[in-house]
Amino acid sequence: MTRREMLAMSVAAAGGFEPGEAPRGLPEATSVKLPRWRGFNLLEKFMVHNNQRFVEQDFAWIAEWGMNFARLPMDYRCWIDGDWTRLREETLKEIDEAVAFGKKHGVHINMNFHRAPGYTVASPAEAKPIWTDDEALAVCCTHWAAFARRYKGIPNREMSFNLFNEPAILAPNLHKRVVERVAAAIWEQDPGRLIICDGRVWGNTPPTELVGLGVAAATRGYQPMPISHWKANWVEGSEKWAEPSYPLAEGGFTWDKAGLFQRNVKPWLDLQRKGVGIMVGEFGAHNRTPHPVVLGWLRDSLANWKEAGWGWAMWNLRGSFGPVDSGRDDVAYEEWRGHKLDRAMLDLLRAS
């Protein structure tokens, strides 16, 4: 029995779809035109020190709220067995569970290596940088090829691969070289698998160097940072920023709906016209930003993305950026199924 058949059987056994049956309503997806997906980042394997199994409840809630997308930002150290070339089957089976949950609830699964062999935006940095180290690149190709074999044949409407999280300051030619190599390794195992690549400069700069490679692209919705990351303890100096308002005047520029479109949308529409599908892979604001500011900024950002026809995935569902258990001190939370629900934020997301 193939892994594809085993996954289908596990979903059927869990009370989901029959083997071979497509999830309800998931749209077709191509590198030229991504659907207007809506959903969340789910963080169970985001960092190796907090490696957990994915929670079916999250997928059920996404579907219940009328959404259809889950990005899984993952740390490759969760599934290696000491040597970074040896993959641990036990952990890979936990990722299979997330695939089954997605199929059962009609939620597209976007696999992301938040920490890939040879690259991370987080700390500590990888010892061997994938952009210049051939061993790191070869190992990364091995990991992605293993995922491609494992999920071969699952339609692109159900699954996509997001290679690297937010490449930082990087020469376009180095980025292109690595993406070409990794994409080739994936397509050798599973021809046509949908691949989405984050923009450079932490996801904010359109990766024009990838035009013609047959991949889509993902931007970010965190600008301006004084709104999204005010007093975020992982952003050095953010505790010294002035308390944000919205609209926000910054250096002679006004961040309002028109300003957000000019800075965050227009450059990516230019890339889209060159045949590269676009989505917003992450967005949201940390729980220290005043709630009315967050809602106003989100409302205009979401309206701009809707106008552009882009899908999105909020960071996160449960946690300091999301609508559930976010820990904000200026929200009248609704007690909801044992959790604290930010109903105003959820309603805004659902309406967008």
Task: Give yes or no for a contact between 131 and 200, defined as CB atoms under 8 angstroms apart.
Answer: no
Q: List Cβ neighbours of 18 (8 Å cut-off, separation of 6 or more).
A: 12
> What is residue 14's predicted lDDT score, i.e. its pLDDT?
36
Peptide bond preceding 247 in cis form (omega within 30 of 0): yes
- Mean pLDDT value across residues 333-342: 98
- Residues 39 and 322: their CA atoms lie apart, in Å, by 11
Question: What one-character-per-residue DSSP string does 222-264 give?
Answer: --SHHHHTTT-TTSTTGGGSPPP-SSEEETTEEESHHHHIIII
pLDDT tens-digit map of 266-279: 999 999 999 999 99
pLDDT tens-digit map of 192-238: 999 999 999 999 999 999 999 999 999 999 999 999 999 999 999 99
> What is residue 25's predicted lDDT score, i.e. its pLDDT?
80
At CA 170, angle to CA 168 and CA 173, rounded to 5?
A: 145
Query: Could you give all domains of the chain from N- to C-terminal order, each with its CATH number?
Result: 3-11+29-224+256-350 (3.20.20.80)
pLDDT tens-digit map of 65-90: 999 999 999 999 999 998 999 999 99
Which pTM was predicted? Answer: 0.93
